[in-house]
Amino acid sequence: MIVYAAMPRRPRSKAIFAAALAAALVAAAGPARAEEGAQVAEARTLFTRGSDLYLAKQYASALEALRASYRLVPSPNSGLLVARCLRELDRSVEASEMYAVVEAAARQRVAAGDAKYGQTAAAAASEGAAVRAQLGTIRIRVRHAPSGTQIEIDDASTALPADGALDALHERGAVTVRVRPPAGVAQSQIVDLAPGRDVTMEFELGPERAAIAPSVAPPAPAVVAPGTGEWSRGWARPAAWWSGGITLAGAGVFVGFGLDSQTRYDDLKRRCGPASCGPGDRADADAGKRAQLVADIGLAVGAAAAAATIGFVILSITDHRAVPSRAAARFVAALSGVPF
């Protein structure tokens, strides 16, 4: 007799429960995806509005819209325009910090395989370096600082780190730094900060309580991003003056020696008439030829210098602080097919 082993059956209750759970998860995911899609759409709308305001040079309004977009979707591309708005509003310290955040985020996405953010990372690095070159760095060092010591840089106050060291970027000009311990008298120092300078301020809160004069490090080499800030073709304007002078000199030579040659020619023509001139007139004829040759050389030199002058003038008047074009402001759209 053949005996068949009884196969265990899955309880119907468990199968029904699994099906119900799957249906519930699908139903819950639907509204979540819809909400996420609405958030992305709103971020795109805000980005487009902020881009248009930025191109219209309404930087304060653009900053508000772009920051709202960035809060919804923290894209490096919208963050880059936030940094540019801060730069145009002369909030250089905030702009520098935002450029650093954008560069780090964009490079992280590139490392993860999203190559479209490579141009964003490069732009943030270049423009951020240009902004930082216009700032100075204050390095505050406090010895024997009790817990709770506050550092005031101008009107901004922050807690002193536990190691007694604080570094801060600051715009050029006079800077006042105060060290306020929880008890006792505050100490302060004032320094005139120049772009690219590092200034170290040392304070002693121990028994000596002596503030040490700030030391200033040599300026770092200036870094200027293409099309921003300082003139990168400063040589073009002096070169235009020099070539312009050569143009005038060539014109003067051409006119002076050309008139001399023409005068000699007219004199010989008047003396000799239709007949050929004799040997006695050879010296005047040769002098006229030499004058004409010098005049021709002056004309050639003046013409070349005039062409160079035009080129130098064009270079000098086009190399100003670049106003971002629509293509530059929207280059992020070309990278990913979306406006941010």
Question: The CATH number of the domain where 53 resides is what?
Answer: 1.25.40.10
Work out the angle at residue 258's Cα, subtended by the Cα atoms of residues 253 and 264, and round it to the nearest 5 degrees: 135
One domain, residues 184 and 197: yes
Residue 323 belongs to a domain:
no
Range of the domain at 240: 236-272+279-318
pLDDT for the residue 155: 80
One domain, residues 32 and 128: yes
- How many CA atoms, within 13 angstroms, populate the side-chain half-sphere of residue 181? 16
pLDDT bracket for residue 273 (50, 70, 90): low
Structurally, the chain folds into a number of domains equal to: 3
Query: Using CA atoms, how far apart are residues 213 and 64, in angstroms rounded to an integer?
Result: 41
Query: CA end-to-end span of the chain, whole Å?
Result: 76
One domain, residues 117 and 198: no
One domain, residues 296 and 268: yes
For the CA atoms of the chain, what is the radius of gyration? 37
Tell me the mean pLDDT in the region 12-40: 55
Q: Say whether pLDDT at 37 is over 50.
A: yes
Closest by alpha carbon to 83, among 124, 136, 126? 124
One domain, residues 206 and 251: no
Query: Using CA atoms, how far apart are residues 23 and 18, in angstroms rounded to an integer?
Result: 9
Q: Does the global pTM surpass 0.75?
A: no
Pick the range with the lowest mean pLDDT from 35-39, 118-122, 335-339.
Answer: 335-339
Residue 15 belongs to a domain:
no
Residue 56 belongs to a domain:
yes
Q: Say whether pLDDT at 65 is over 90.
A: yes
pLDDT bracket for residue 310 (50, 70, 90): confident
CATH code (residue 209)? 2.60.40.10
One domain, residues 115 and 179: no
Pick the range with the lowest mean pLDDT from 7-16, 161-170, 241-250, 288-297.
Answer: 7-16
One domain, residues 254 and 294: yes
Tell me the mean pLDDT in the region 31-56: 83
> Per residue, what are the HEC states of 170-184?
EECEEEEEEEECCCC
Q: Which residue stretches of the chain are H helix?
A: 12-55, 59-72, 76-88, 92-111, 118-133, 236-272, 282-318, 326-329, 331-336
Q: Residue 161 carries which side chain, given as an amino acid letter? A: P
Query: Using CA atoms, how far apart are residues 214 and 72, in angstroms rounded to an integer?
Result: 44
One domain, residues 128 and 138: no
One domain, residues 41 and 112: yes
Closest by alpha carbon to 93, among 139, 138, 140, 131? 131
Residue 9 belongs to a domain:
no
**CB neighbourhood size of 332 (10 A):** 24
One domain, residues 246 and 310: yes
Residues 171, 133 contacting (CB under 8 angstroms):
no
Tell me the mean pLDDT in the region 288-304: 76
Which residues, in sequence order, are bridge partners of residue 175? 191
Query: Using CA atoms, how far apart are residues 312 and 173, in angstroms rounded to an integer?
Result: 35
